[in-house]
């Protein structure tokens, strides 16, 4: 029985601005298999199957992997093989692998390069670029050296020796120049900056066909393989050599092992001498399934780094799936429209977003349809956003009004998921009424801030009438309280501005211009921000210089009177504007303009009253200082 490895809650939703409408689940919780890596390959006795899931990141500063001295690495014919992505090049040598004074390969001044213990040691071929992956292979046998780039022959040379001169090097270095003396290990140099997915060394020259198969199918002939290191084969201290010869790699100075965006399965032929298939270096808890003729004939749970598989009919061609089981929770759906997309009542964006399954939802085939209020069915073409696992489409309908039914179908991990929802779009008048209502609510909030400030000032006056001597701390608290409420009112003005911006196009399409109001709002918000800074400066510096706080309290009284006057003026203005607009415009524009004019008159008068109060405070303080000097 499989244990739960991951428990995901899958949520789908389609985006509309009228509200949220959840629906019941369409499927019960189900255990489903998630294939992460799939391949089709011929499998025989003694084969090893292993995943490639990680790559090395060498920083070009001091990172390297070291392989100790080994007689099995003393070869006369050779194949050097690696998949690499250089990020930058040094001047001179940039080794991928180096067995000092014996054999090496990598890059030299941005070109493919190899060094072999031959009369002519160095050879270079094609120029390559940084930031790209390259499959680079060097072979030498019977006096012929070859370079391969992405499985294609890149260059060939006839050398003056038929085989390599054997040299018992101290060690092998991956990602740098070994730099050793004959019997002494020295610090490496010429560090490689980039990524390496794997390295292999053979004691023979691979054929063109074998190189092509290695590159395109990841099927490896183990004959002559003396070193096979992949960052996936890591036991916590070193990278294990899959060749079986124990040429393990030890990382130094923080070589990074990062997940590779490209994953595949290695099929290593004739790697063991038994009659079984070996599954090596799969994550614990994963499941490997073997399909034959479309049916799963074998399923193996990974419990160690080497799992022996028996019971397969060998040799035969299988589809191999490696992954894990998850519990797919009940599917739910919610819906709403993006109000900003409701332009001229003719079109709306519909969104489809799978939730909590990040990394699995890309590339889905999403089939959607919508039933219009007149029962007409329209098929929707959902497009995936390239930057996220979100699918969307633009639905156009002349006179977009009424109730719409939405159906969505997709297949997730082999399960067909169907979800339904509905949404309503009101008439143009209803939608504009809703916009006006929001603006009215915003203005009411601003009026409540004015009322709150008036209440604060009344408390200040009450304090003055009960107590002649007010401490500096109390005075500072009063001023800071007024400043905080002014900031709160400014935040509400900002929200009103943002609301107008969101509906600007829709309103202007129906002859309601808000451009002037937006300009005034920006000016008012900036003025209040400056006033808040001045109040903060007044409370933290000037007040500390005042010995008698009574003069400042008197100035606060004047502020109270000014604000109270503002409320009277606003009442008169709102009545006059309402009468004027009702005579010249319809109800919708009427409601909108009344709300906006009230807010702007409040803002302008409120800023003016505070500036007057600040001026009074400063004049009084100057007089106080003058009296003290006399």
The pLDDT tens digits of the residues spanning 383-440 come to 887 777 677 777 777 667 778 888 777 776 666 666 677 777 766 566 656 666 666 6
Sequence-distant (6+) residues with CB within 8 A of 217 are 41, 267
CA distance to 290, 331, 363, 413, per residue, from 9 (Å): 28, 8, 19, 14
Question: CATH topology for 9-26+330-426?
Answer: Immunoglobulin-like (2.60.40)
| Domain 54-262, CATH number (from 3.20.20.70, 2.60.120.200, 3.30.70.1450, 3.50.50.60) | 2.60.120.200
Distance, in Å, from the CA atom of 554 to the CA atom of 547, rounded to the nearest integer, reads 14
What's the average model confidence in pLDDT over 258-276? 94
- Where in the sequence of the chain do the CATH 2.60.120.200 domains occur? 54-262
Residue 180: name the closest of 247, 78, 89, 104 by CA. Answer: 104
pLDDT confidence bin for 539, thresholds 50/70/90:
low
Q: What are 406's two structure tokens?
A: 């939405």
Res 279: pLDDT:
97
CA-CA distance, 48 to 220, in Å (whole number)? 10
Give dist(CA 572, CA 561) in Å, integer: 17
Kind of pairing between the strands at 11-15 and 332-336:
parallel
Q: Mean pLDDT, the chain, as a whole number?
A: 76
% of the chain at pLDDT higher than 90: 41
What totals of helices (H) and strands (E) does the chain contain, helices first?
6, 32
Region(s) of the chain under CATH 2.60.40.1930: 9-26+330-426
How far apart, in Å, do the first and last CA atoms of the chain sit?
Answer: 96
Contact present, 337 and 18 (Cβ < 8 Å): yes
The yes-or-no verdict on residue 260 having pLDDT over 50 is: yes
pLDDT of residue 167: 87
> How much of the chain, in percent, has pLDDT values that exceed 70?
61
Q: Rounded to an integer, what distance in angstroms lies between the CA atom of residue 447 and that of residue 493?
A: 11
Count other C-beta atoms under 10 Å from residue 429's C-beta: 12
476: three-class secondary structure by DSSP: helix
Question: Token digits for 410?
Answer: 């997709």
Element (H, E) at 185: none
Lowest-confidence segment of 36-45, 274-283, 594-603 by average pLDDT: 594-603
Whether a cis peptide bond, with omega within 30° of 0, leads into 315 is yes
pLDDT level of residue 331 (50, 70, 90 thresholds): very low
């Amino acid at each position: 029985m499989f244990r739960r490895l991951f428990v995901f809650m899958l949520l789908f939703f389609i985006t509309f601005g009228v509200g949220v409408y959840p629906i019941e689940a369409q499927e019960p919780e189900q255990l489903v298999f998630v294939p992460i890596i799939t391949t089709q390959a011929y499998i025989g006795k003694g084969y090893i199957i292993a995943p490639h899931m990680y790559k090395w990141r060498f920083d070009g500063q001091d990172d390297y992997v070291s392989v100790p001295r080994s007689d099995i690495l003393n070869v006369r014919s050779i194949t050097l093989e690696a998949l690499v992505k250089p990020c930058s090049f040094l001047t001179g040598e940039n080794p991928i692998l180096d067995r000092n004074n014996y054999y090496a390969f990598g890059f030299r001044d941005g070109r493919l390069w190899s060094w072999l213990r031959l009369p002519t040691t160095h050879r270079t071929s094609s120029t390559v670029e940084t930031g790209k992956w390259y499959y680079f292979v060097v072979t030498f046998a019977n006096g012929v050296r070859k370079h391969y780039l992405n499985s294609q022959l890149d260059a060939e040379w006839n050398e003056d020796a038929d085989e390599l001169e054997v040299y018992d090097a101290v060690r092998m270095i991956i990602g740098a120049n070994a730099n050793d003396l004959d019997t002494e290990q020295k610090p490496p140099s010429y560090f490689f900056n980039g990524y390496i997915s794997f390295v292999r060394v053979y004691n023979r020259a691979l054929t063109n066909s074998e190189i092509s198969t290695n590159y395109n199918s990841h099927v490896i002939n183990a004959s002559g393989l003396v070193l096979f290191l992949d960052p996936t084969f890591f036991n916590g201290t070193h990278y294990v050599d899959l060749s079986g010869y124990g040429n393990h790699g030890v990382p130094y100075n923080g070589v990074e092992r990062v997940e590779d965006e490209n994953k595949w399965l290695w099929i290593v032929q004739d790697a063991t001498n038994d009659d079984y298939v070996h599954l090596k270096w799969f994550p614990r808890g994963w499941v490997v399934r073997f399909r034959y003729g479309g049916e799963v004939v074998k399923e193996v749970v990974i419990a160690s780094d080497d799992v022996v598989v028996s019971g397969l009919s060998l040799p035969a061609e299988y589809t191999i799936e490696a992954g894990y089981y998850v519990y797919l929770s009940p599917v739910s759906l919610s819906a709403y429209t993006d109000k900003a997309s409701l332009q001229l009542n003719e079109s709306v964006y519909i969104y489809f977003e799978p939730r909590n399954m990040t990394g699995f939802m890309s590339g889905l085939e999403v089939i959607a349809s919508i039933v219009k209020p007149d029962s007409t069915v329209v098929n929707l073409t959902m497009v995936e956003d390239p930057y996220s696992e979100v699918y969307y489409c633009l639905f156009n309908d002349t006179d977009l009004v009424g109730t719409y039914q939405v159906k969505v179908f997709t297949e997730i991990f082999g399960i067909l998921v169907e979800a339904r929802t509905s949404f309503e779009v009101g008439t143009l008048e209803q939608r504009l009424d809703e916009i006006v209502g929001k603006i009215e609510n915003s203005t009411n909030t601003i009026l409540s801030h004015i009322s709150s400030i008036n209440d604060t000032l009344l408390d200040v006056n009450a304090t003055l009438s009960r107590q002649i001597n007010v401490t500096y701390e109390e005075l500072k608290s009063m001023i800071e309280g007024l400043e905080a409420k002014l900031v709160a009112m400014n935040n509400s003005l900002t929200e009103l501005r943002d609301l107008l911006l969101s509906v600007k196009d829709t309103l202007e399409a129906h002859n309601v211009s808000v451009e002037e109001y937006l300009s005034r709002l920006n000016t008012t918000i900036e003025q209040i921000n400056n006033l808040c800074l001045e109040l903060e400066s007044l409370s933290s510096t000037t007040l500390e210089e005042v010995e008698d706080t009574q003069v400042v309290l008197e100035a606060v009284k004047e502020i109270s009177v000014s604000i109270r006057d503002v409320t009277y003026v606003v009442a008169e203005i709102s009545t006059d504007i309402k009468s004027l607009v009702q005579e010249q415009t319809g109800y919708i524009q009427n409601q909108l303009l009344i709300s906006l004019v009230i807010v702007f008159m409040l803002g302008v008068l409120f800023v003016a009253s505070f500036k007057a109060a600040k001026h009074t405070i400063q004049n009084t303080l100057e007089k106080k200082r003058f009296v003290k000097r006399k």
